[in-house]
Structure 1
Amino acid sequence: MRLVPRSLLFVVVVLGAALAGALGYQAWEDSRPETRPELTLPDLQDRERSLAEWDGKLIALNFWATWCPPCVEEMPLFQALQDEYGDQGLQFIGVAVDRPDAVAEFIEEHDIRYPILYGRQAAMSAGQDFGNQAGTLPWTVIIDQQGHIRHVFDREVKREQIEPVIRELL
């Protein structure tokens, strides 16, 4: 019986992993809706807020949590971008997958002034509606003024990644 050389086995495994990754990415792309789904969650004053309130604006919808270090890291950037581009039609909206008391304390401590909605399971379900099947945090969706999902950031985002997208769509 002849054994398969290790180098050939290695190549087969690598190619198999690449194919699985490509198919997984395609499944993710296929699960992402083209137009924004409906979203209604409470804000920190327990008022039900609908994403439709911000129709006509360029929306950066960020799913995050206070216990998520990359989420916490990008929040000051989002507030700075809101301050810089808000008068041009940009609206950041945070969706906290967290307890309202933890979120309220966090946003006060970090001077976050854009709208924050919250929920636990409802927020995770909303993330899935926007294509986040794995429940990854942070997850930021850019929605144009006509309600089309134009870009998704599936991890912590840096200024040099998100700002060109915002500028192009404003």
Structure 2
Amino acid sequence: MNRYLQYGLIAAVAGIAGIAGYFTSQIGDSAGSSTTSTASAGTTEALLALALPDTEGHMQPLAQWRGKVIVANFWATWCPPCRREIPDFSAASRSFGDAPVQFVGLSIDSLDKVKAFKAEFDVPYPLLIASADVLALGPGFGNAAQGLPFTVIIDRQGVARHVKVGTLNQDELERKIRPLIDDKS
């Protein structure tokens, strides 16, 4: 396949995903589409089974954070709503300090762009480099359009408790996470 055609296809797919994410975000923001998850245990296990490279090239298995509340945020540097919510995720991550909470960004993007973004926005949690294939988990979490951003909050027992397609702010994040920190059911 011609190199220019490949680049064109990649740009087209990225543009479509960005537009879908934007409109999904707008719908989610106005409708308050945060939900208690109906994700199957299999979908959550598939997410926790991922091992993806971080910005330093080290493989990071998501399973290493079992036993903590995991806030998995699917995003990309080219996604305007994603860029808008990351400062709130960073602030929420910092506010939990030593609590058993782990934020992790699953970026559908290139390593160089994610590294630059991490440095520019001083993101305090791991940003992992994922392929577009990782978005295939989206429908299992109720994100049939596979729009960005979307966030899955997994409790300390490994159960997806909240899924939000669209942006989350710091207050929303903290309200959803706090009850899960001490819940050991």
Q: TM-score, normalised by structure 1?
A: 0.76
**Who wins on radius of gyration, i.e. which is larger?**
1
Over 3 Å counting, the alpha-carbon distance change for 1:41 and 1:131 in structure 2 is farther
The match for 2:172 is 161
Percent identical among aligned pairs is: 42
The match for 1:4 is none
Q: Deviations over 1:101-160 (max 9, x none)?
A: 111000101101201111222332344554433211000000011100000011111233
**Which ranges in structure 2 are unaligned for 5 or more consecutive residues?**
1-32
* 1-structure distance, mates of 2:40, 2:142: 7
Written as runs of structure 1 = structure 2, the 5 A alignment for 1:12-161 is 32-34=39-41, 36-37=44-45, 38-128=49-139, 130-161=141-172
* 1-structure distance, mates of 2:140, 2:97: 26
* 125-134 or 92-101, which deviates more: 125-134
Q: Deviations over 1:3-62 (max 9, x none)?
A: xxxxxxxxxxxxxxxxxxxxxx9xxx76x2246222221111222211111011111000
**Which ranges in structure 1 are unaligned for 5 or more consecutive residues?**
1-24
Q: How many residues align?
A: 142
Question: Are the aligned partners of 1:56 and 1:145 in contact in 2 as well (CA < 8 Å)?
Answer: yes
Question: Are the aligned partners of 1:41 and 1:123 in contact in 2 as well (CA < 8 Å)?
Answer: no
* 2-structure distance, mates of 1:125, 1:47: 23
One-letter code of the match for 1:61? Answer: A
SS in 2 for 1:156: coil
SS in 2 for 1:86: coil
Moved over 6 A (4+): none
Backbone CA RMSD of aligned residues: 2.0
Q: TM-score, normalised by structure 2?
A: 0.70
SS in 1 for 2:78: coil
Relative contact order (C-alpha < 8 Å, sep 6+): which is higher? 2
Question: Are the aligned partners of 1:33 and 1:131 in contact in 2 as well (CA < 8 Å)?
Answer: no
